[in-house]
């Protein structure tokens, strides 16, 4: 008799977003005349930029003619996109990354989830707390996290690195030595950023103890300040200890288009084994390449016109972020993030729990946000708002909150 994967059965239910949705639905049903505004979503709302639309149409036309039809893509991505990414995202910033160290995929979420597969099961994982749930859940599914403790809401074999206002949302080197360290900057959910010096400290530490840093750079396009690194490869020595995951979802609005990439330098080795070759083998065996038309859209992201149009899109969302951040500060809230990041992380007033504040915001302002406790125990007493709505809705939501 076949058996189900017992590690899958350890997974916690995904109560966070379903509870958010259910509460919103119940409130709307009881108050049909109220206009609810969602500042909870991580999804973008602005349409694709004209340069992207144009590239998609052109690529679709190519698929209509035998001479320019494209069948199976190269497993690791088309050269034109690997080159554009390596050139623009790395070499233009002085980072030594070769075209063939770029692995094109259908998005950062899949890469974030699948990357743990190339490591041994007994590797010890360290995560920030609060954290993007995918890092932890995929390690649970791989049997790497031990036993869940209901009281502390933590897994016995995971190293948690609390990120709260007390440490300016910066993880500290943990007491126990990890093998795999997940870092995400600019951070989801806190909106925190790391300086180049601080990130260099992590790179030095990882090289010293033989750990790998999985660096999620999904929000790097939102960085506007100097001395905030766009890539971990800006740090010396990162080629021997870091994997970087890149998304097109938030810099180019590709949440529904699906494109991303992962960088694995060939210098990153376990003994003689290059992680680069293991990931290549995973791509070759379990993946069949991102669609040609989508990769052409990705190429357009790096064109001169693409950069211009997408900078405007990022600016649109960051105007929202500024309105949220300033508005909440004026209203007396303790507010973090919202600069160099599309997330605003606020301390709940009067020591309310995250869920108490959720209810209050929904009932009194008809605004939906995300309770910080949903991202991990250290997210309790915090609350996340996002800048991805329309400007009009964002303004209205914040003005309502100010009047609460």
- Looking at residues 208 to 237 of the shown chain, list those that interact with its own copies (rule: CB under 8 A): 209-212
Listed in sequence order, the residues at least 6 apart from 368 whose beta carbon sits closer than 8 Å to its beta carbon are 20, 24, 36, 37, 38, 39, 40, 358, 361, 362
- Determine, following the binding rule CB under 8 A, whether residue 56 of this chain makes contact with its own copies: yes
Which 5-34 positions form the footprint of its own copies (CB under 8 A)? 5-6, 8-9, 11, 14
Separation between Cα atoms, residue 306 and residue 298, nearest integer Å: 10
How many residues touch its own copies under the rule CB under 8 A: the total is: 77
> Smallest distance from the beta carbon of 78 to its own copies, in angstroms?
10
Q: Whose Cβ is closer to its own copies: residue 45's or residue 195's?
A: 45
> Smallest distance from the beta carbon of 112 to its own copies, in angstroms?
8
Near its own copies by CB under 8 A: residue from 38, 82, 144, 258: 258
Q: Whose Cβ is closer to its own copies: residue 141's or residue 198's?
A: 141
Q: Which x/- pattern, by CB under 8 A, does the window 265-304 give for its own copies? A: -----x--x-x--x--xx-xxxxxxxxxxx----------
* Residue 315 near residue 342 (C-beta atoms within 8 A): no
Q: Whose Cβ is closer to its own copies: residue 67's or residue 225's?
A: 67
Q: Whose Cβ is closer to its own copies: residue 85's or residue 259's?
A: 259
- What tokens appear for 75 in the block? 């497993």
Separation between Cα atoms, residue 119 and residue 116, nearest integer Å: 6
- Determine, following the binding rule CB under 8 A, whether residue 64 of this chain makes contact with its own copies: yes
Which 90-109 positions form the footprint of its own copies (CB under 8 A)? 106-107, 109
Separation between Cα atoms, residue 110 and residue 290, nearest integer Å: 12
Q: Taking the CA atoms of the chain, what radius of gyration do you get in angstroms? A: 21
Query: What is the enclosing helix (H) or strand (E) of 277?
Result: helix 275-286
Q: How many other CB atoms are found less than 10 A from the CB of residue 15?
A: 10
Separation between Cα atoms, residue 341 and residue 221, nearest integer Å: 8
Q: Whose Cβ is closer to its own copies: residue 79's or residue 334's?
A: 79
Q: Whose Cβ is closer to its own copies: residue 93's or residue 281's?
A: 281
Near its own copies by CB under 8 A: residue from 121, 266, 308, 329: 121
Residue span binding its own copies (CB under 8 A) among the ranges 39-47, 194-202, 307-315, 396-404: 39-47
Near its own copies by CB under 8 A: residue from 36, 73, 198, 395: 73
* Alpha-helical segments (H) within 331-380: 354-365
Which 372-391 positions form the footprint of its own copies (CB under 8 A)? 390
- Which residue in 68, 62, 392, 107 sits closest to 262, CA to CA? 107
Strands 334-337 and 343-347: antiparallel
């Amino acid at each position: 008799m076949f058996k189900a994967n017992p590690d899958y059965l350890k997974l916690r239910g995904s109560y966070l977003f379903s509870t958010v949705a259910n509460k919103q639905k119940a409130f709307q049903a009881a108050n049909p005349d109220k206009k609810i505004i969602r500042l909870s979503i991580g999804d973008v709302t602005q349409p694709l930029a004209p340069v992207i639309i144009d590239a998609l149409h052109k690529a679709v036309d190519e698929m209509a003619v035998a001479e320019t039809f494209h069948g199976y893509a190269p497993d690791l991505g088309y050269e034109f996109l690997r080159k554009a990414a390596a050139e623009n995202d790395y070499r233009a910033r002085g980072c030594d990354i070769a075209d063939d160290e770029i692995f094109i995929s259908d998005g950062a979420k899949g890469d974030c989830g699948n990357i743990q597969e190339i490591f041994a099961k007994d590797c010890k994982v360290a995560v920030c707390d609060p954290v993007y749930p995918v890092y932890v859940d995929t390690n649970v599914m791989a049997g790497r996290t031990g036993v869940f403790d209901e009281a502390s809401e933590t897994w016995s074999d995971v190293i948690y690195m609390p990120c709260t206002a007390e440490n300016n949302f910066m993880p500290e080197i943990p007491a126990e030595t990890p093998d795999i360290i997940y870092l995400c900057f600019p951070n989801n959910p806190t909106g925190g950023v790391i300086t180049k010096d601080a990130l260099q400290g992590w790179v030095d530490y990882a090289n010293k103890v033989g750990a790998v840093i999985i660096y999620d750079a999904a929000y790097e396009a939102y960085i506007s300040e100097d001395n905030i690194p766009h890539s971990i490869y800006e740090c010396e020595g990162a080629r021997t200890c870091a994997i970087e995951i890149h998304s097109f979802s938030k810099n180019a609005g590709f949440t529904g288009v699906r494109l991303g990439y992962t960088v694995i330098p060939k210098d990153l080795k376990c003994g003689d084994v290059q992680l680069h070759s293991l990931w290549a083998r995973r791509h070759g065996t379990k993946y069949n390449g991102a669609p040609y038309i989508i990769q052409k859209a990705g190429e357009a992201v790096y064109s001169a016109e693409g950069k211009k149009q997408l900078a405007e899109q990022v600016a649109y969302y960051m105007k929202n972020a500024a309105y949220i951040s300033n508005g909440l500060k004026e209203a007396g809230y303790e507010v973090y993030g919202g600069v160099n990041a599309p997330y605003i992380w606020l301390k709940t007033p009067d020591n309310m729990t995250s869920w108490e504040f959720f209810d209050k915001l929904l009932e009194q302002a008809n605004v939906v946000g995300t309770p910080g406790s949903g991202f991990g125990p250290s997210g309790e007493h915090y609350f996340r708002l996002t800048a991805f709505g329309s400007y009009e809705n964002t303004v209205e939501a914040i003005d309502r909150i100010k009047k609460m």
